[in-house]
Structure 1
Amino acid sequence: MPAILGVDLGTKCGWAHLNTNSQGSAIISGVWDCSIRSGVDSPAIRFLKFEKNLDGVLSLSPDMVFYEIVRAHRGVKAAHMYGAFQQKLFERCDYFGVPYEGVSVQAIKKFATGKGNAPKEDVIAAVRVWGFHPKDDNEADAIALARLGWEQYGS
């Protein structure tokens, strides 16, 4: 049975690892805070934090990684940050030999709520109905990604 990793890229990065075996399935999830301290940390520290955390869950040997594709950003800085996190994800997945696939924001929302334009609160509520207690919308998105990935790849 395959293991799936869902990743919601960003400074507050949601992640969820879904593992299935003969006894059922289990998801472990959380949020990595990849922010930096202004005037103290170099800008690259956020990507080193992301890499360290990502390597930790990639060591759990997922068979596939699904990540959220964001096609529109609030600004230039957000777009640059997303691109850097995405590139780091590709690099580390390639290093570990784990295939990856992007899923649109709308597809994640539709899977979780039935509506591709649902607000973040609705995704959190849907994930809670599934029996999870996400800290925020980033973790909720990652859990939904892992479950969506399982339906596409694992079944």
Structure 2
Amino acid sequence: MTEKSSPATALTHLDAQGQAHMVDVAAKPQTVREAVAVATVVMQAQTLATIEAGDAPKGDVLGTARIAGIMAAKQTAHLIPLCHPLPIQKVEVQITPDAALPGYTIQATVKIKAETGVEMEALTAASVAALTLYDMAKGLEKSIEIRGIRLLKKTGGKSGDYRADL
């Protein structure tokens, strides 16, 4: 048995016939919005040491991953159905080594002034940076793991601010 949605819980990405559609945000005001997402890449200590020394066979692992994350944020609407193409003003991808993992923490920040948020762009940037790091280092180690892709925080918009419990 299917329950009917009330207006407060109506699904926003389905039309009256139940077909998926892109939400119309034209009437919404433009506000400054920012989202921060994170991913963790875990590897053997020797793999981390090799990347940190700049000795990976494929070259600049971290620089390539950083650029891939930036490019991915800008391409999110092409990858995720129903996402709006957005005029992104800022994408920053930080990749920080962590010997305790061992591995890297990737943090992607995306900022915009628009009618809709940039959570998906930040999550896409962190994810693609992590995938690229794996690709660049897989010759050193096949057992690298990508973990914990999630939204850390978002600001702006009708739904207000969000901060993940750390």
**TM-score, normalised via structure 2 length:** 0.24
- Greater fraction of residues in helix: 1
